Amino acid sequence: MADLLIERLGHRGDGVASFQGRPVFVPYTLPGERIEAEVSGDRAVLGGIIEASPDRVAPPCPQFGVCGGCVLQHLGAGPYAAFKRQLVVDALADRGLAPPVEMPVIVPPNARRRATMAGIMAGKRPIVGFHERASHQVVPIEVCFVVVPEILAGKPALEALTAAVSPRKQPLDLTVTATTAGLDVALNGIVAADVDRLRMKLIDIAGQFDLARLSARGEAIVERRPPVVMIDEIAVVPPPGGFLQASAAAEAAMGDLVVAAVGKARKVADLYAGVGTFAYRLARTATVTAAEGDAGAVNSLERGFRFAKGRNRIMAERRDLTRRPMVEKELEGFDAVVFDPPRAGAAEQCQWIARSKVRTVVAVSCNPATLARDLRILVDGGYRIESVTPIDQFLWSSHVEVVAVLRR
């Protein structure tokens, strides 16, 4: 066992110590702690805490440290918020940017309406839960302080689905969304032949457990009721297995920031628009052009808009912005641009925005590193970063969402 002093937290939430002249990462430790650990390469396994940090708190979940879903339940609220902010500050600094960064908006526990769980067979028994950290092993979940109670209450249905598919080597991914009509469950990691073979059995399970919708490989097997989620008072049915902001509280916080930044803009481009997270809100005061590459998301956005009241026009377009970004000429006439890309970011699109005359740009991202790269492009093109606000919808993880506002 090595005697180590934890110097700081790494960007994945691990404590970082120096050992024989090199950094060593120790999960579940905090800055200032003296610990005993078994060191192997650049990783170490905590053996015991000699001197605990005053920032250490008792984690609420009895499975913390075994389940890999959370990595920071042992960190007090104030230092935790500071860590999330620092993730953003450091990512921006890596690109030579030092704008003002607010303290994060932190969602409450048990707020995630969408989560992906894993299901696998242990002999004849289905196990449903989350992966162990850095492992393919599945930890059965009995309690969870992150997801809404409806998701955990649906565990018997997930176990029945796992037993029906019977995965033994690779776990089945079960993406579960709590909707106003009940649970919407999407299966991934199941081959097409098994979907055909098990179709009637899966339909029976959906009925037995009163699922709103059950889908596999991106297609609905059965929809007993439309799985509606409310976005700014508009009923939206996301596509099977489609992207949705994980927390309604975080979505509302991001939406408020986006709308406030856009202000009185009359014509807005919403790029990577998804199912309309920001488009519906923006359409209260502006005409919106919404571009999104996923056909199912575009269909959901258009269907939701048909029943929207008191909104301006939303023109939705299916468009892969990575392959065919909105170019300078197309951006003429827009008062503001909002973009919320996947984790890979929007580098090519930002090159075109940087050449445009659009006055206001709002960037939303779940990846501070690619966001910083994209902001660097915009700053080099003549934009000034006005504000950066972290949104912590991935509670107790090392991930953070960000909303950045820029003006030309």
Catalytically active residues are: 366
What angle separates helix 192-208 from helix 155-165, to the nearest 10 degrees?
A: 150
Sheet containing 138-140: which strands, arranged edge to edge?
138-140, 125-131, 114-122, 172-179, 182-188, 213-216, 219-223
DSSP code of residue 157: H
Sign for the pseudo-dihedral over CA of 235, 278, 345, 178? negative
Alpha carbon distance 177, 312 (integer Å) = 29
378 class by beta-carbon count within 10 Å (0-12 exposed, 13-18 middle, 19+ buried): buried
DSSP string across 191-232: -HHHHHHHHHHHHHHHHHTT-SEEEETTEEEEESS---EEET
In this structure, what token pair is assigned to residue 158? 């997930």
Sign of CA dihedral 165, 166, 167, 172: positive
Residue in the structure block whose two tokens are 């389940």 = 67
Residue 231 near residue 276 (C-beta atoms within 8 A): yes
Alpha carbon of 99 to those of 92, 337, 375, 399, 404: distances in Å? Answer: 8, 20, 11, 20, 10
> What does each C-alpha distance from 137 to 162, 171, 270 come to in angstroms?
15, 9, 40
Distance CA 135, CA 79 (A): 28
Residue 353: closest CA among 339, 370, 372, 369: 339
Measure Cα distances from 269 to 54, 262, 304, 325, 362 in Å.
47, 11, 18, 12, 10
CA separation for the pair 378, 358 (Å, rounded): 11
**């501070």: which residue's tokens?**
368
End-to-end distance of the chain based on CA atoms, in angstroms?
A: 56
For residues 347 and 371, the answer to whether their CB atoms sit within 8 Å is: no
